[in-house]
Structures are given as structure tokens and as C-alpha cells.
């Protein structure tokens, strides 16, 4: 009997008590396409509470498919990132979120490099906005880009303290807010 009780206690310590999973709604910013172009837009996801509050989960939701219902009543994935095949792989190292951005399989809707760069810039900016919601646990995002060489200037470390916590107050112009140097003058 003593061995059975000891075995049961060891099992509970190793496995841990079962926790109830609670569903919660998590708002994330995504680059949503419409007839007017792509704009950072708040989209809501339903996730389990242990998953939804982490910076990694929010960053991964930046590129996740969505289902926005048009006036015709038909849901459609309008996330520019998922439509173009942009993928994120994330890990957290201390107060830095390390994001590997896979652009190798990305298929921009317009082959013009300037347009494709604008699409990647808005995706990365949405990721910064989502990581900012984990402040102060996450203070920086390091983007590591794989793929087209004309986009590699977006790789680097971004300081989240300079990212506004309010979407309406922000600019997503990564030309003005570049990696490693903080806020840069836009000349406006």
C-alpha cells in the first residue's frame, strides 16, 4: 500500500495537476487587404488562456489566416501575410522576442520589389504592435529575414519602447522606424 501511494504521488508531481482550459479572446494587429490596399487592422482570435497571453502566440497570430466576412456574407482570409505565404518562427530569449521571418516561399500579389517591400514592412510592423502588448516582459524584437536580399535591411533589433501601445497613434513606416537605430526622421 505504501508503494502504491508513493507511486501515485510521484506520478502527480511529474505530470502535475490537470488545469482547466479557459477560452479567451485575443486582439491582434494584422495587415488586412481590401480594395484600398493593406492596412494594420485589429482582428480577434479565440485562444486558450495559457496560449493567448504570450508574446510568441501573438506574434504567430500576426501571420495566421483570418476569416473576415464581406458585405456579401462570405468569409475570406484577408491577411496579407498568410495570403502571400509569409511565415514566422518565434522564440523568446529573456526580454527579446526572436522572430525568423521566412520569405523564401512568399508570393507577393505584385512582383514589383517596391510593392513587395511595402507588404513585408506592414507585416513586420503588425508583429511589432503585437509584441508591444507583452511589454515589459518583451522589450525588443529581433527580426531575422530569410529570402529576398532587397528586404534584408528590415532585419535587426527593434526597441518596443518606441512603439505606441495605441494603433491609432502609430505609424507603420519601417523606413522611419528602422532596426537598431530607434526612431528616424521621416523628413515630413
Q: What's the number of domains the chain is made of?
A: 1
In a domain, 110, yes or no: yes
Closest to 64 measured CA to CA, from 30, 97, 24? 30
For residue 78, being part of any structural domain is answered with yes
Instruction: Tell whether pTM > 0.75.
Output: yes
State the cell numbers at 112.
Answer: 514589383
Residues of the chain with pLDDT under 50: 4-17, 52, 181-188
Question: pLDDT digit string (tens) for 81-118?
Answer: 998 889 999 999 999 999 999 888 777 766 666 767 78
Asked whether the beta carbons of 163 and 157 are under 8 A apart, the reply is no
Concatenated DSSP letters of 37-60: EEEEEEEEEEEEHHHHTSHHHHHH
Task: Report yes or no on 9 lying in a domain.
Answer: no
Domain membership flag for residue 90: yes
Task: State which residues form the domain around 59.
Answer: 22-175
In a domain, 184, yes or no: no
> Is 63 contained in some domain?
yes
110 vs 95: CA distance, rounded Å: 36
Q: Does residue 147 lie within any of the structural domains?
A: yes
CB 117, CB 150: distance < 8 Å: yes
The answer to whether residue 13 sits within a structural domain is no
Amino acid at each position: 500500500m505504501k508503494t502504491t501511494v508513493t507511486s501515485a504521488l510521484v506520478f502527480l508531481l511529474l505530470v502535475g495537476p490537470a488545469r482547466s482550459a479557459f477560452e479567451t479572446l485575443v486582439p491582434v494587429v494584422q495587415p488586412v487587404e481590401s480594395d484600398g490596399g493593406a492596412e494594420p487592422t485589429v482582428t480577434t482570435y479565440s485562444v486558450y488562456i495559457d496560449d493567448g497571453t504570450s508574446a510568441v502566440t501573438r506574434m504567430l497570430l500576426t501571420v495566421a489566416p483570418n476569416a473576415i466576412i464581406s458585405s456579401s456574407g462570405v468569409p475570406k482570409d484577408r491577411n496579407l501575410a498568410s495570403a502571400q505565404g509569409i511565415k514566422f518562427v518565434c522564440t523568446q530569449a529573456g526580454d527579446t522576442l526572436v522572430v525568423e521571418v521566412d520569405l523564401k516561399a512568399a508570393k507577393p500579389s505584385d512582383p514589383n520589389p517596391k510593392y513587395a517591400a511595402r507588404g513585408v514592412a506592414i507585416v513586420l510592423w503588425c508583429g511589432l504592435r503585437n509584441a508591444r502588448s507583452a511589454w515589459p516582459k518583451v522589450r525588443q524584437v529581433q527580426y531575422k529575414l530569410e529570402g529576398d536580399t532587397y528586404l534584408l535591411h528590415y532585419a535587426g533589433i527593434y526597441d518596443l519602447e518606441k512603439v505606441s501601445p495605441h494603433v491609432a497613434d502609430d505609424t507603420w513606416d519601417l523606413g522611419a522606424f528602422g532596426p537598431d537605430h530607434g526612431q528616424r526622421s521621416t523628413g515630413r
